[in-house]
Amino acid sequence: MGGTSKVKGRRRSKRGSTRGDRKALTELPKEPKKNPQGKQSRRKSQDKETETQSKTNYSVRQLLSQATDCMDTFNYELAQKFLQRAIEVEPDNLQVLECSGNLLIEVGELEKAKQCFGRAITLSPDAGHSKYMYMGQLFEGDEAVEYFKTGIELMKKEKERQEKEPEAACADNKTTVVTNGDIASAYCSMAEVYLTDSCLAADAEERCKECLEKAIETDKDSAEAYQIMASYWLSKDDKEKAKKFIEQSLSLWLPKMKAIEEDELSSEGPTFDPLNPCSMTYQNRIGTAKILMELEMNEIAEEILEGLLQEDDQVIQVWYMLGLMNVEKKSVESKAPARFFLTMAKKLYLKLRCDDEPVLLHTEELLSVLGPGEGLDESWLKKQEESDSDVTEEDVLSSEDDSDDDEEKVMDRKRKGKEAEEEKMEH
């Protein structure tokens, strides 16, 4: 990449998150969408009608189905009413308890979520790994590790059972097929505990490395495991080994992403999922870019960040990191893109009402050092327009509530993000 950063057209796709990410530059929340008055009235009318139906003699299965449908459309208030009714009917129903715990996580009631999953564990301690994986995400340190360990053991047993009785596993619609990738991802979650919450423990380094080695042994194609292994070696100031592992991680997903962007993807066999072509979540790829920046592999880092910007231009981290990277180039040509990216990060920060003050303060500090430079900015922005870029300040900062079609797009993006998060938590 040259001194300027070409901002390409956006693709909307799902993004997820991971535990830890070394507690730096965590993803900042978006501002809740405001519906126009007419849509609010129609929505309230529909909710009232559906709530009235919840008071009829629905079975627990029907109540659970209704709650799930409401969660899929992010109508958490109504979903909570369906689940409350289901709990009143069957207070010890495992599916209801796990679904309630999931909902409580979504609305930020983490302590109550712990109670739901804890109750599910008490009722069925030897079956169902997902509740343990959720608890591992909700707790920290040694407690989190113990939950992950139990979840991994249950996944191994379930995978063994599914391999011995494949027909029975396929017939059981309530059982999720367990893969080596799922188990490797759980080991990665354990490793990240040792990189974050338990990093000061005497045996943290040894335990972290052991978890990552098990992850790679379980799934040699786990891009996530190689990425965290690179992070591990960076924490030990061994940049040579860190570079080796991050390159291995990149080899497992970046070429495919490039091919997709250029419409040159050939048949990838039965493992290729056209709906989720990248094995690395949005947040994992941000983590990869951070590692690459630390290793001074800025060209690849910039390429990844620009790809992330195409997918979703509402993530402050990406704008901030692109701005920081251009500042660090220390060239005249890089000042204009640095100002643009950092200015966008600041404006998004204020628009989304974020509360990570250090990011805002550092952004303002960098902008102050760069100075105004209006002429350079205008020249650079003109070049961007000539390169057919469709990412403009007005587009990024505009509200997305002007039409029903816009609302559907927003809900679809939120739904995809929720699905990615649920998949990560379950694994």
How is the chain split into domains, by residue range? 1-11+298-392
Are 401 and 34 in contact, with CB atoms under 8 Å apart? Answer: yes
Predicted model pTM? 0.75
Cα within 13 Å of Cα(33), Cβ side: 23
CA-CA distance, 154 to 323, in Å (whole number)?
45
pLDDT number for residue 314: 92
Are 141 and 190 in contact, with CB atoms under 8 Å apart? Answer: no
Alpha-carbon dihedral angle through residues 205, 209, 215, 220, given to the nearest 10 degrees? 150
Are 58 and 85 in contact, with CB atoms under 8 Å apart? Answer: yes
- Percent composition of the chain: helix, strand, coil (DSSP 3-state, to 5): 70, 0, 30
Q: Which residue has the tokens 């109504």?
A: 78
The alpha carbon of 63 is separated from its chain's Cα centroid by a whole number of angstroms, namely 29
| Radius of gyration, alpha carbons of the chain | 23
Give the CA angle between residues 300, 346, 2 to the nearest 5°: 30
pLDDT number for residue 154: 96
pLDDT number for residue 391: 59
CA-CA distance, 273 to 252, in Å (whole number)?
14
Q: In what helix (H) or strand (E) does residue 113 lie, and over which residues does it extend? A: helix 110-123
Are 118 and 102 in contact, with CB atoms under 8 Å apart? Answer: no
Per-residue pLDDT in tens (0 to 9) along the chain, 427 residues = 444 443 333 333 332 333 333 333 333 333 333 444 444 555 555 554 454 444 445 789 999 999 999 999 999 999 999 999 999 999 999 999 999 999 999 999 999 999 999 999 999 999 999 999 999 999 999 999 999 999 999 999 999 999 988 776 665 656 678 999 999 999 999 999 999 999 999 999 999 999 999 999 999 999 999 999 999 999 999 999 999 999 999 999 999 888 877 765 554 444 555 556 678 999 999 999 999 999 999 999 999 999 999 999 999 999 999 999 999 999 988 999 999 999 999 999 999 888 889 999 999 999 999 988 765 566 666 666 666 555 566 667 764 444 444 445 445 555 555 554 555 455 4
Q: Rounded to whole angstroms, what are the CA distances from 367 to 37, 192, 303, 351? A: 38, 33, 23, 18
pLDDT number for residue 146: 96
Q: At what angle do helices 76-89 and 60-72 cross, to 10 degrees?
A: 160
